[in-house]
Structure 1
């Protein structure tokens, strides 16, 4: 897999996580632990994307 393809894959996962976070926030009984875990996963993905993008420039 090329770096560009990996970045696209991670970007898709990042967007999916963002959608999941937004759905959780809208729930009347949002689980703060789940939200924190989802946000941490999203941040790790963003960090990996940034790292890979730096390698392509």
Structure 2
């Protein structure tokens, strides 16, 4: 993996972590209000889980392969 590819992955990872944290705050805020839109809340939670999966995938790509 070249340094440019690695830098792009690190940048994407940073952006995804920020989005994940922001979604968490929105979800907490919506869940605290009983009149909130349940469908919107469910969609936000799914989006947060997808982002978490992508973060895990990118982190695994950034770990160098070690030949045993």
What TM-score results when the alignment is normalised by the length of structure 1? Answer: 0.92
Which residue in 1 is equivalent to 2:18?
Answer: 12
Pairwise CA distance, 1:32? 1.4
Shift of 1:17: 0.3
C-alpha RMSD over aligned residues:
1.0
List alignment gaps of at least 5 residues for structure 2: 1-6, 64-68
* Between structures 1 and 2, the one with greater helix share: 1
| Structure 1: 5+ residue stretches without partners | none
Q: In the alignment, what sits opposite 1:30?
A: 36
Deviations 1:15-40 (A, max 9, x none): 00000000100113122111110000
Match in the other structure for 2:8? 2
Taking structure 2 as the reference length, what is the TM-score of the superposition?
Answer: 0.78
